[in-house]
Amino acid sequence: MNKSELLKRYCSRLVAMERRSILTKDAYRFEISIFLDFLNEKEISLENTDASFLCEYIDMRREKNKIDSRSVAKAISALRSFYRFALDERLVKNNPAELLESPKRKTYLPEVLDKESVELLLSQIETETPQGCRDKCMFELIYSAGLRISEAASLNLKDIDITSGIAKVLGKGNKERIVLFGKEAKILLNQYIKISRPKLAGTVNKTGALFINRRGTRISRKGIWKNYAKYAALAGFSSHVHTLRHSFATSLLAGGADLRIIQELLGHTDLSTTQIYTHVETSMLKKNHSAFLPKLKKEQV
């Protein structure tokens, strides 16, 4: 079985049997493609690999590709999945990837913007053009509902109920959830759907996607990322789109929202993932404490 056929069958398994998301499938395909090239380079067949060889591969990824601990963990996860597939296909007799230990992931506090900073960023968007109207609507909705970039890109017109301020989104693992959005998002959605979207769609409505590009087709995640980066630079920030989601969660927590409600709105499977925002709140408290009580800082021994 050649590399192309092997990857095709493996990816089919990821989607059909393991129920992995498209993003995970693409990430694992990329990783296993590199691994198969490494096998070819070392002139070693898959059935002759062992845990020691896999460690050599991971070391290569660290040194050559400069991947961090999070990417190492993802690479190991992909290898474990691929060897399970290889076992079922009788390409190997055991799964050496199960012997690999994933590195402990470093915990990073997410970057957040306060309300004034979000407003400054959104004010950079000129709404005279259909694209500008779309972008302001899109980023307001991402912030107001705490959406992931992939969730915003996959939204369809039928998923939005403007009157109720409710949207149905498809999150990680193809799990659907209901999100809420505010008054400003409602106003912008009305303007975009009634005026700007028809101009982008042209004479033929090519898609049911909510957010579309100038060709009338669904806007890509890359397109959203590039547009956000442009506006963030104009506002003097170096943040990413995901910062809006973090800012949404932190604002809710600061306002007294229950952590489990925030978990539900964000679509987190595990509450521990949501708890990172409690650390952000503590960090912000310490920052303000130092700013407003500088004398205490100077007097510390």
Q: Write down the catalytic residue from 172, 199, 214, 221.
A: 172
d(CA 192, CA 31): 39
Q: Write down the catalytic residue from 84, 218, 245, 246.
A: 245
What lies within 8 Å, CB to CB, of 122 at 6+ separation is: 136, 139, 140, 231
Spacing of C-alpha 131 from chain mean position: 23
Look up 289 and say whether it is catalytic. no
Look up 28 and say whether it is catalytic. no
Q: Give me the residues paired with residue 161 across strands.
A: 166
124 close to 227: Cβ distance less than 8 angstroms: no
Give me 174's structure tokens. 């193809």
Q: Give me the residues paired with residue 180 across strands.
A: 166
Q: Write down the catalytic residue from 20, 277, 279, 287.
A: 277
Look up 168 and say whether it is catalytic. no
d(CA 162, CA 286): 39
Q: Write down the catalytic residue from 62, 177, 240, 242.
A: 242
d(CA 98, CA 68): 20
Q: Write down the catalytic residue from 148, 186, 218, 246.
A: 148
Look up 242 and say whether it is catalytic. yes
Q: Hey, how many other C-beta atoms are within 10 angstroms of the C-beta on 9?
A: 12
Q: Which residues are catalytic?
A: 148, 172, 242, 245, 268, 277
